[in-house]
Each structure stands twice: as C-alpha cells, then as structure tokens.
Amino acid sequence: MFYCLLVLSLIFACSKNDTYQPPATPTDLVINAQVVGVTDSTPNGDGSGNVNLMLSGKNVTSYIVTLPTENRTMSLNAASGTVNCSFTSAPGTVTQFPVNISAYCNTVKIDTAINVTVYCSAGATPGEGLVWSDEFDGTSLNTSIWNYETGNLGVNNEVEYYTNNATNVSVQNGYLQITALYSKNYNNSGWDYTSARINTQNKYSFKYGKVEIRAKVPGDQGTWPALWLLGNSINSAGWPACGEIDMMEQGTVTGFDNILCSLHWGTAGAVINQSHPNSIKVTGSTTDFHLYSMDWRADHISFYIDNVLFYTQANNSTMPFNQNFFFIFNVAVGGSMGGNTINLGTSSTMYVDYVRVYN
C-alpha cells in the first residue's frame, strides 16, 4: 500500500511574561494521503480518483481542506480524522492535484499544502459529459432545482414530520445536510420527530445516463436515509407503476453499514416487483463519505458503491425505467426500515457532497 506522508513540525518561539500566555498554535501536523486502489500494477490508484486524507496534530480543533481543481472545500471538526477527496480529470490520465490544508486551534490557523498524483480512468472533467449537477457549494438550498416536501406523508409507518426549517435541511461547508431531530409535538402536529425531504419534481428529471452521489449517512437508531428517484408518471400512474430507483437506502432494521440498492415496479394494488432486496456491507458508511453510482441504460441498470459493481438488473420496454425520473433525498424516522426504537443524538444527519448526472 502506498502512502504519501508529510509530517510538518511547526515550532514557534514566543516571548512571554508573567501575565501573558500566547494562544495555542497547531503543531506536529501529520498529513497522510492514501490513494485508493494502489497496487504494484496500479501505483497511482485504481482509476476512481479517490484519495483518503488522514489528518492529525497537536493543539488542533478543526481542519479545512480545499481542492482547488475541484472547486470544493471540506471540513473536519476534530483533532484527527479522515477526509475523503475525489478528483476528476480527462479519462486515462495521471494528474498531480494540489490539496490545501488549514489546521485551526480555535481562531489560530496554520496553512500548508501537498500534491497528490492520481490516475483517473473514468468519469469526465467538469463540463465534459456532465449534463447536470448540484455541488452544494452555496449557503442555502437552490430552490430553482429542489422542492421541499412538508408534513407527515402517511407512508411506511414513518413517524417524522418533514419541514423546510434550517435545523432540518441546510447547505453549508460544501454539503447538503438533512438532520432528523426530536421535536416533541412539533407545532402541535402530534408528531415528535422532524426531518426533511427534498425532490426535483417538475424542475429536473432525466432518462438514462450515469449518476454519482457522494454521501455520508446517519448512524442513530431510528433513522432511515435514502437517495432515490421516482418516475415522472407518479401522479398519473401511481406507485409502483411509475417505477422507483433506490441508489442508496439504509436503516436501523437493515443494520448500519448495510446498504440497499434496489428497483421497484409493478401494478398498484397487485404484485410489486422488487429487484435485489439484499443489502451489501459498506464499512464506515456512517462515519465516512462513499460514492453511490448508477449506470442506467435502455437495456440495463447497474449499481456501484465506491466504483465497485454491486449488481445489474436487465431493463426492457415492458418496465417503467424508460421514462424521465426525478431525485428525492430524505431522512425518514421509524417506519419499515427505521424501526420502533428511536434514539436521535449526534449522528442523525445525512451529508451529501454532490449529485452529478453524466450522459
């Protein structure tokens, strides 16, 4: 395994007297950049463009990591931990990418930078093959793209009340954040939990292509996060006739780190077809970001996790997966996959770094 290791020992001589103590300064910063998929035959990685950046230091309260070529900034609010970086370049190229790191001790900051050399075998440079995306780099949800769904929708025995409150859904630090909270009898609604559900219905939909969503899911009991799509015919055909594509689904009942990717279709009130209801183990799904991808074509739909194929379902003209679909992102509480035991604490937020659609 290849490691690009940079150890910076930052020593500052500070004058002091009996009454003044200078503020603590981050020191002994260790940056360990691990390119994913390095072997003897692939010395610059497996082509995914993914790099795990492991950070630690003394007197550090947080880090800001900036990827200039990707126009993306990420944060780590801890003295040590891992930041997952994803790089894109022209397919089949080996590229050296800059990474800027700022280590903070409260308001005292130390800046440094490293370069990582990464092989990119797939994907595309920004703007090349990319037909639509939301990078969540702003300060609020882009309502020209997304709709808020509110209330309890009366499905799956869920017990949350969806809101458009900033405490439940926000865009900050380069991420979409959807948080489930305990909110006793919220607004006299009779519901004790709030969360958020957003969709792109009537604002963005598409048929066929490659989709990538980079996300970290919550790990508190009772949460049920999902990144999924419904067919545009939902209002006329109903469910499941409109078709449902679940790119990522996880819940307390399935077990944390067990991720579902599945398809649903059929006739309302009759047989509901479900493709691949089994889950796959994704270690660290609640603590690290992972890439959930789909390759959707007229003859098949394939699901990938961290660029590894999970399964493929044949598609044909008798199935509903040949029309436009729109996105839905939500964190449900309780219900069929959230379960009856609910204990929301410090891990009830789903973070989405980006969603991208390629042709």
Amino acid at 168: N
Residue 30 Cα distances to 1, 58, 205, angstroms: 18, 9, 44
Amino acid at 36: V
Q: How far apart are the two ends of the chain, measured CA to CA in Å?
A: 34
249 a catalytic residue:
yes
Contact between 263 and 246 under an 8 Å Cβ cutoff? The reply is: yes
The CA distance from 30 to 23, in Å, is 21
Strand, coil or helix: 19: coil
CA atoms within 13 Å, Cβ hemisphere of 196: 23
265's tokens: 């279709």
Please tell me which residue in 70, 158, 212, 249 is annotated as part of the active site. Answer: 249
247's tokens: 């790119």
70 a catalytic residue:
no
The CA distance from 231 to 253, in Å, is 26
Contact between 138 and 100 under an 8 Å Cβ cutoff? The reply is: no
Contact between 70 and 91 under an 8 Å Cβ cutoff? The reply is: no
- In the DSSP assignment, the letter for residue 25 is -
Please tell me which residue in 70, 160, 212, 244 is annotated as part of the active site. Answer: 244
Pairing of strands 193-195, 160-162: parallel
Would you list the DSSP string of 84-107?
EEE---STTEEEEEEEEEEEEETT
Active site residues: 244, 249
